[in-house]
Each structure stands twice: as C-alpha cells, then as structure tokens.
C-alpha cells in the first residue's frame, strides 16, 4: 500500500494515491476504513470537530459538518462549502512571480505568418453563422465539401469549420449579450488560424451580416451572404460551396514557415477533474505555462467560477492594483449573477468531480489555478476580448468548458491545453486541443482521446519539471501541424458554444 500524500505541512487531510478496500488502515494508526475509498480521495490526517476548517494545499477547502476521526474518509458526507477569506494581499508575491519567469533561449515553430502580423498554427476556412437560422446551411455545406474531397488538392489548407450557434436573434440589439456574440463571431472569422471566413445569415436577424461585412472593409479574407438574398436553403448551400472553391487557391498559397514561440497564445482548460488533477496534470501544465511565458508567449487562464476561493493566489501575483481590481470585479459579478438566478458558486464540483474526490468548489479551484503557473498576472480580459498582453493572463468566462474555450479562442488563442481526470471528450476549432490525462487509468481507458499521460507523475515518479518539458514540446509540435487526438476524431465544430447572456425575447 502506497503512503498517503501530504501536500502541505499545515494540511488536515492527506490524499490516497490508490484505491483502498474496506478495513485498510491508511495512516497505520488502527483506524480501518469503514468502506472502500478510491484513489484521489481525502483521509483525515488529524481528528476534527464539527465546524473546524479543513485544509488542503495549505488552504481552507470547507468545514467539517460533523466530528471526523483521524483516518476517516473526508468528503461530501462530512465536509461542506463555506465562505473563504477575503483578506486579499494584492501583489504580495509579485517579486517572487517575476523571478519565476524562466530565462530561455528563443524557440520557433512552423506556423502561418499572416500579412497583418498574426501567426497561425492552422490554416482553415471558417463558415460563421450570424444566427441560428443559418446553422443548418453552414453545417450542410461543410459536410458536403468534406465528403466531396475538394480539400484534398490543397495540402496547405487544414480543414473547414462550421461555427453554428443557437442565438443571433430574439436578443437585445445592444448590451453585453450582443457585444459577446459580436466579439465571438468576429474573433473566429479573423482568427490567426483562419485563412478565409464566410459569414452566413438569414437576412432579417438582430446580428446583421452587414455589420460584419462593413468591418471587413472589402478585403478578400472575409465575405458574406444571406439565405433570403441567395434564394433559400439549397441555393445558399451551393453558394457557400462555390465561394469556398473560389477562395481555396488563395488560402492554400500560404505555407508554414519558422515563427517565434513568442507569438503563441495558449489557452488553459480543465474539465472532468478529479483528485489527481491538482497533483499531476494541472501543476505540470503550470510549469509548462511558465516556460511559454519565458519564451515570450502568452497563456490564458479562464473559468471564473472555477477559480472561486483561490482568487487570492492570483491576486498576490497581480502586476498592478488595477489588474487585481478587474479580477475582483469579475468575482463580485459572478456572486451577484448566481444569486440573481437562484444558484450558488458551489454549484461546482459536478457529480463526476465528486466521484473523483473533489468535494467543494474551494478545493477544485485550488487545483485549477495550478495550471496558471507562477508568473505575474499581466492582464484580465472580458469574455472573447482580444488578448494583447504577453505573459500570464486571465479571461472572465463561465466554467462550462465549451463556452469558456470558445471565448479564449475568440480572443486569439491558437492552441488549447485541456487537463482531465474523468475523461472529457472535447476538441476545438480552429485552435487544436491537446488533452492531458491526470492518471494512468484514464490514459489507458481513452487512448484515442488523450495526447499526454500525466499519471506517471504519481505512478512512476516522473518529475513535474520533466512533464512540463514534455508538454511544451507537444505544444510546439502541435503548433507546427502535428495532429492532436481530438483533431483526428473530428471534434471541434459542436464545441463552439458562445456564452449566451441576457434576455431571450
């Protein structure tokens, strides 16, 4: 039996590295388990009384709802969410964070250098629906193009993506909801991984296609059409196909060339987390994030509801008080938003997270922020806002993975790293997703979905530093065109989910 893992000397719980049967004595103190407990779950290191704070990662993850004996299983039956400290010490770790930026020799990847200075990791054609009414025509057109084999003659074109969604009308013509959809659509159409984009509308919707066409300024890269003006559904599908055939030679004319790693914007995601996430994949990705920052690049953390309770760790690394206040404003907005809708910030963890050993959102958040590494927080962005600062940045998004990733990609992220302990089936376009498994069992169970196994950090003693190097090499290889597991499976179109906020009218 492997010894339980103590993360911080002040913790009142330890983690089981493997499943133990009923009757096992994990602490060796004559306190046998009443029932089997899975790996990644928590065991009380000391006796605790009802109301006592429970510590993991050196932070409070909840309070005991009953007396807990040393050696007992600690989970939802005896630990509950509680408010966390708001005694923020803004910038306290800034000097340490600056020192954490590694000094690295410049690196390159084989990317697509755009005329406007952008650098892509893919060269795709995007079909962007301005409204749900045009969702079917772009999906049908994309499917027919792929089945026709038309793309086979164009080796520098990495595919076609249909960005369909469920809104664009029945919404206010101004305000945050409108602005978000506008940023998402424009961000995908002008994404560095997109060589050409075609906006497709119905013609009478709130999100008017003329708005997008006027912003394009008459350039070749972005065009548009409407179903009503084109002559109906079938005629529009055929018109889209004709337009794609027309732009393919121009998109194919761009080829991969050496590009600086400093041009990379890497989105950080986690989904289907478990008790191993904060021990293996997330901290390894955090060290990889430090390396990307050291190369002059950008990493983008998101999912505001899933940093809740751990925001103090980010605030201590904020580069300025203004950046810290922007993050705090996001936290306050989410507290008001969930309360207004009868929800709670502890709606997380999900049932799958809890099966994996995560008990409260405070615990989940502490593991989630590990993806961000150790460098200064240089910017906080609204959802789908363009990412312009280098270094470690944060974007305000929901915790729901497809919505969150859609915002990060709209902001300009060209590669996405996604850690999972339960096995999320996720991919994204036009930015490829790299999947990181937190444990050996998942990596073995879903080999067609997982790109990197981080479970060997636990099972084989692989260091987090070594795993971080592996992740960076995978990022650079993916940026250079290596196909990820999710790309091979064809994932990405249906994972485009803009954040729909505001009244549906």
Within 10 Å of residue 407's Cβ, how many Cβ atoms? 30
Q: What is the mean pLDDT of residues 408-428?
A: 97
- Confidence (pLDDT) at 218: 65
347 has pLDDT over 70? no
Q: What is the mean pLDDT of residues 140-149?
A: 97
Check for a shared fold between 1-80 and 124-253. no
- Confidence (pLDDT) at 444: 97
Give all strands (DSSP E) within 261-357, no chain letters.
265-270, 298-301
Query: Rounded to an integer, what is the distance from CA 41 to the centroid of its chain?
Result: 24
167 has pLDDT over 70? yes
Confidence of residue 364 (pLDDT cuts 50, 70, 90): confident
Scored b (16 or more CB within 10 A) or e, 295-311 reads: bbbbbbbbbbbbbbbbb
Q: Which residues pair with 483 in a beta bridge?
A: none
Q: How far is CA 246 from CA 48, 157, 186, 202, 239, in A?
A: 70, 13, 22, 22, 10
- Confidence (pLDDT) at 501: 93
Confidence of residue 487 (pLDDT cuts 50, 70, 90): very high
- Confidence (pLDDT) at 246: 97
| Cα 315 from Cα 401, distance rounded (Å) | 23
Q: Which residues pair with 159 in a beta bridge?
A: 124
pLDDT (tens digit per residue) in 383-400: 999 999 999 999 999 999
159 has pLDDT over 90? yes
Domain boundaries, the chain: 1-80, 94-101+259-489, 124-253
Q: How many CA atoms lie within 13 A of 22 on its CB side?
A: 2
- Confidence (pLDDT) at 143: 97
- Confidence (pLDDT) at 309: 87
| Cα 481 from Cα 270, distance rounded (Å) | 23
- Confidence (pLDDT) at 348: 61
| Cα 85 from Cα 426, distance rounded (Å) | 34
Nearest Cα residue to 367 out of 436, 282, 437: 282
pLDDT (tens digit per residue) in 207-224: 998 888 788 776 778 999
Q: What is the mean pLDDT of residues 44-52?
A: 96
- Confidence (pLDDT) at 353: 86
- For helices 464-479 and 281-294, the axis angle rounded to 10 degrees is 60
- Confidence (pLDDT) at 213: 78
Confidence of residue 370 (pLDDT cuts 50, 70, 90): very high
Q: Does domain 124-253 have CATH number 3.30.70?
A: no
Percent of the chain with pLDDT over 90: 88
pLDDT (tens digit per residue) in 322-346: 999 999 999 999 999 999 988 877 7
pLDDT (tens digit per residue) in 56-86: 999 899 999 999 999 999 999 999 987 777 8
**444: enclosing H helix or E strand:** helix 440-445
Question: Diameter of the chain by CA atoms?
Answer: 78
| Cα 406 from Cα 264, distance rounded (Å) | 17
DSSP 8-state class, residue 153? G
| Cα 182 from Cα 232, distance rounded (Å) | 25
DSSP result, 156-209:
T--EEEEE--S-SSSS-SSSHHHHHHHHHHHHHHT-TTEEEEEEEE-SSSSS-H
- With 0-12 / 13-18 / 19 or more C-beta atoms within 10 angstroms meaning exposed / middle / buried, residue 188 is buried
| Cα 79 from Cα 68, distance rounded (Å) | 9
- For helices 176-189 and 209-216, the axis angle rounded to 10 degrees is 50
Task: Indicate the average pLDDT of the chain.
Answer: 95
Lowest mean pLDDT among 56-60, 146-150, 157-161, 317-321: 56-60
497 has pLDDT over 90? yes
Under 8 Å between Cβ of 235 and 281 = no
| Cα 167 from Cα 176, distance rounded (Å) | 14
Q: Pick 81 or 54 by higher pLDDT.
A: 54
Asked, as a colleague might, if the bond just before 236 is cis with ω within 30 of 0, I would say no
When the candidates are 2.30.130.110, 3.20.20.100, 3.40.20.10, 2.40.160.40, the CATH number that belongs to 1-80 is 2.30.130.110
pLDDT (tens digit per residue) in 94-109: 999 999 999 999 999 9
């Amino acid at each position: 039996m492997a010894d339980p893992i103590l993360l911080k000397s002040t913790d009142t719980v330890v983690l089981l590295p493997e499943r133990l049967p009923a009757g096992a004595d994990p602490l060796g103190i004559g306190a046998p388990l009443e029932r089997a407990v899975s790996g990644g779950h928590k065991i009380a290191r000391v006796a605790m009384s009802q109301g006592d704070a429970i510590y993991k990662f050196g932070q409070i993850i909840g309070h005991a709802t009953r007396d807990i004996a040393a050696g007992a299983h600690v989970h939802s039956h005896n630990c509950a969410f509680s408010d966390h400290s708001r005694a923020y010490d803004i910038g306290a770790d800034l000097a340490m964070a600056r020192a954490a930026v590694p000094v690295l020799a410049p690196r390159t990847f084989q990317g697509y250098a755009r005329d406007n200075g952008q650098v892509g990791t893919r060269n795709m054609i995007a079909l962007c629906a301005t409204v749900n009414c045009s969702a079917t025509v772009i999906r049908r057109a994309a499917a027919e193009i792929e089945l026709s084999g038309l793309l086979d003659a164009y080796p520098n074109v990495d595919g076609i993506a249909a960005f369909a969604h469920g809104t664009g009308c029945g919404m206010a013509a101004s305000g945050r909801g409108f602005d978000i959809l506008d940023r998402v659509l424009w961000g995908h159409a002008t994404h560095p991984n997109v060589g050409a984009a075609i906006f497709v509308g119905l013609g009478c919707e709130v999100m008017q296609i003329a708005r997008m066409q006027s912003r394009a300024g008459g350039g070749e890269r972005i065009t548009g059409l409407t179903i009503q003006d084109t002559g109906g559904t079938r005629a529009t599908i055929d018109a889209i196909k004709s337009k794609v055939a027309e732009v393919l030679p121009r998109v194919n004319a761009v080829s991969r060339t050496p590009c600086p790693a400093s041009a990379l914007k890497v989105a950080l995601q986690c989904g289907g987390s478990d008790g191993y996430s904060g021990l293996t994949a997330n901290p390894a990705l955090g060290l990889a994030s430090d390396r990307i920052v050291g190369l002059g690049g950008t990493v983008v953390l998101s999912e505001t509801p899933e940093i809740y309770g751990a925001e103090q760790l980010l605030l201590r690394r904020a580069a300025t008080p203004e950046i810290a206040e922007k993050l705090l404003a996001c936290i306050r907005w989410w507290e008001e938003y969930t309360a207004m809708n009868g929800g709670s910030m502890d709606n997380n963890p999900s049932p799958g997270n809890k099966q994996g050993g995560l008990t409260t959102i405070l615990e989940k958040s502490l593991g989630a922020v590990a993806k961000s590494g150790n460098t200064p927080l240089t910017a906080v962005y609204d959802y789908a806002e363009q990412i312009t600062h280098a270094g470690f940045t944060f974007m305000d998004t929901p915790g729901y993975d497809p919505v969150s990733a859609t915002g990060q990609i709209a902001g300009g992220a060209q590669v996405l790293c996604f850690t999972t302990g339960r096995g999320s089936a996720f991919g994204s376009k036009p930015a490829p997703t790299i999947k990181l498994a937190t444990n050996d069992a998942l990596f073995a169970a879903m080999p067609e979905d997982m790109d990197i196994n981080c479970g060997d950090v636990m099972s084989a003693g692989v260091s987090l530093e070594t795993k971080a190097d592996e992740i960076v090499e995978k990022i650079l290889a993916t940026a250079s065109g290596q196909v990820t597991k999710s790309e091979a499976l064809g994932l990405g179109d249906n994972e485009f989910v803009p954040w729909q906020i505001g009244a549906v009218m």
